[in-house]
Structure 1
Amino acid sequence: MTPRHGSGETPRIPDASMTLLTEVYRRPLDPGYADAAARRAAGSEPRRTRRSTVGLVALAIGLGLGATAATLALRQPTSSAQEARQLLQTQIEQRSADADAIQDDITAMTDEIATLQEELLGDEGQSVRDQIEADAVQAGVMPVTGRGLRLVLTDSPSDDPDELDMSLRVQDVDLQVVVNGLWAAGAEAIAVNGQRLTAMTAIRSAGDAVLVDLVALSSPYTVEAVGDAVEMQTELARASAGQHLATLRTNWGIGVQMSSQSELQLPGTGLVTLYSAQVPTPAPVPAPEPGAGEGAPDEAGVAGSAGPTGRDDT
């Protein structure tokens, strides 16, 4: 564009950095390709022989095989990782088999203990036998069957499945509130997803999972309680547990389904591990060293003779 005469404007000089783009727009085809096309059109281009065609096909096949082999090598684990995985899988299977064998031994010993108890008590120990069965039910050792209440808690659906929002999921504290509320409402036996609860059972969280007696559970959480379903449902609604469930349903969208069941079957835990404790024996007080003066502090009385703060007021 030329400047208009008399306007005083200077000609606009294009930026040097735009030279490459300008050349691309002007000549999109490289001169070498243009020359080759011209020679091919004029008939002066050397004809492609059969040998060159075969070589080109062989080269393409070789490149394809190389790319495929490289892809498979990247997708497959290395030999060391594969061996470690195989070893770990073998150990898991072996430990699982050992655990099953130990559980079978426990079941056999439990049956043997029950048989010995029956032989020892005889016909005259029916009252003792009834007391043992009642205690076993309360301890969660024996399976129970009866009418009760079923409560199902389900995580709230999330709009973004990749985003983890713990407020929309059932947490360990929710199960604790529900279970304690059912105990207070008169439940005789409770199980969560088939895990029988006892006085030694702990409900806690580990990462994203909820642990019930060290067993990882996931949503939905089915809480089953044997007892008077109508009374438990009424008492649960009056207590703080009912308010907690209403808050979960209303504010966080967590599913809460409660229904009466004519028959519930709760498993037993088997033998209960008993723990004992004893008062530790106090350590002997060391005697003062000979020749210690009256002004020397007594090591045995430093912590005991001081005030509540553990320091001397003077």
Structure 2
Amino acid sequence: MTKPERAPASFSVEIDEQPSKRRAVFSQDVQNLGSWHVLSADDAAALSSHHRRKVDDDSLRLIDDLTNRPLDPLFSDARLTQQKPHSKFSIWFTRIIVFIICIAVGFVGSVFVRQLNTDPRKQVRASLISELQQQNTSLKKITTEVTDLHAKVVKQSDSMPDARPDSTLTQDEMTNGALAVKGPGIVFTLADPVASSAANGAGPRENSTNHIRVVTDSDLQGIVNLLWKAGAEAIAINGYRIGVSTSVRTAGQTILIGVNQVASPYKIEAIGNSKDLSQAMNSKAQPDLYRTLNAAGINPQVSRSYSLRLAAAEATNVTYAKRSK
């Protein structure tokens, strides 16, 4: 009885028959693994079945596999497909390309994030503020020219030989604010709370989330009305005279006296009987006003002055009003 033939072991592939690309378990060529025997598939299967013992012991099967098939086909396939190492030029060229791509992606991403974090309302607001400042500057220049021309007209009228001062006209112009005046009176000063301007280094009206009570146009209007009621003959706020057509209002976040911007502290000058005005505007005469302002951290101050000078109010043109007989 001849000795049964043994199944041949797996042989390495020759150099001219090596695969041209890598193969993995999930590739389409995995089905060809195990086909590198010198015998045909049928003969190898017959010899393998003839050689393998019919045993039910798992340990004997493991020993048989380790003895006759020590090299795993997948490992052999991986070893047979090793590629040649890349050159240094290709490695560094790839690194440079990847580095440039990373810089480009980071730059584009930072620009995109910066655009997302940009608030377009700030640009619009800055543009409107710049336009308003230009308009106010132009209007102030024109108003100054009109006032100067009016003063020149009055001066020329007074210098005429037959000119006689009209006391009634002078009285009306001083009452309406058309002429600069001087005299005794009081100075009523109030300012926004100090804590209200600490947020982000901005004014209290520039932060919409700030709920601290500040001086408003309504406060200034109420104080001006109280001064008129107490007998004031001429009133100015931060140097801007209150005339017959001068308004005290809020435009956005700014208080305007006519068309002029004013900010805290607010200095209200009133010409009249300084004693009567001081008594009419103290805490005893106006307890509700002082209580409301003090509760918000606003502390008004009243001081008497024996000589105040108030400029003329801005002149306006009368177009539709006509003298009535």
Q: TM-score with structure 1 length normalisation?
A: 0.55
Residue 142 (structure 1) aligns with: 179
Q: Deviations over 1:230-277 (max 9, x none)?
A: 33111223886x224312233322232222345433221243434526
Residue 190 (structure 2) aligns with: 153
Q: Deviations over 1:137-193 (max 9, x none)?
A: 221112233443222222233497653437x12223321221122122232211112
Distance in 1, Cα, partners of 2:133 & 2:216: 31
Give yes or no for the alignment of 1:165 onto 2:180.
no
Which region of structure 1 is more displaced relative to structure 2, 171-180 or 145-154? Answer: 145-154
Q: Decide which of 249, 252, 268 is 1:204's aligned counterpart.
A: 249
Query: Which ranges of structure 2 fall in alignment gaps of 5 or more residues?
Result: 1-83, 117-123, 200-206
Residue 239 and residue 197 in structure 1: after superposition, are their counterparts in 2 closer, same or farther (change >3 A)? farther
Number of residue pairs the alignment of both structures matches: 225
Q: Deviations over 1:83-124 (max 9, x none)?
A: x9999899779866764664465245314421442244x366
Residue 299 (structure 2) aligns with: 255
Distance in 2, Cα, partners of 1:236 & 1:75: 54
Distance in 2, Cα, partners of 1:219 & 1:188: 24
Residue 207 and residue 134 in structure 1: after superposition, are their counterparts in 2 closer, same or farther (change >3 A)? same
Q: CA RMSD in A?
A: 4.3
Distance in 1, Cα, partners of 2:176 & 2:233: 10
Distance in 2, Cα, partners of 1:257 & 1:208: 24
User: Does the CA contact (< 8 Å) of 2:184 and 2:271 recur in 1?
Assistant: yes
Residue 74 and residue 143 in structure 1: after superposition, are their counterparts in 2 closer, same or farther (change >3 A)? farther
Residue 117 (structure 1) aligns with: 157
User: Does the CA contact (< 8 Å) of 1:143 and 1:266 recur in 2?
Assistant: yes
Q: Deviations over 1:210-233 (max 9, x none)?
A: 343254433332211123333311
Residue 237 and residue 99 in structure 1: after superposition, are their counterparts in 2 closer, same or farther (change >3 A)? closer
Residue 48 and residue 246 in structure 1: after superposition, are their counterparts in 2 closer, same or farther (change >3 A)? farther
Residue 94 and residue 177 in structure 1: after superposition, are their counterparts in 2 closer, same or farther (change >3 A)? closer
User: Does the CA contact (< 8 Å) of 2:183 and 2:307 recur in 1?
Assistant: yes
Distance in 1, Cα, partners of 2:127 & 2:192: 36
User: Does the CA contact (< 8 Å) of 1:141 and 1:272 recur in 2?
Assistant: no
Residue 56 (structure 1) aligns with: 95
Query: Which ranges of structure 1 fall in alignment gaps of 5 or more residues?
Result: 1-44, 78-83, 280-314
Q: Which amino acid aligns with 1:174?
A: D
Structure 1 or 2, whichever has the larger Rg, is: 2
Distance in 1, Cα, partners of 2:162 & 2:250: 48
Distance in 2, Cα, partners of 1:57 & 1:97: 57
Distance in 2, Cα, partners of 1:165 & 1:261: 35
Distance in 1, Cα, partners of 2:191 & 2:130: 35
Residue 73 of structure 1 deviates from its aligned partner by 7.0
Distance in 1, Cα, partners of 2:218 & 2:262: 14
* Partner secondary structure for residue 174 of structure 1: helix
User: Does the CA contact (< 8 Å) of 2:235 and 2:271 recur in 1?
Assistant: yes
Residue 146 and residue 55 in structure 1: after superposition, are their counterparts in 2 closer, same or farther (change >3 A)? farther
Distance in 2, Cα, partners of 1:91 & 1:249: 34
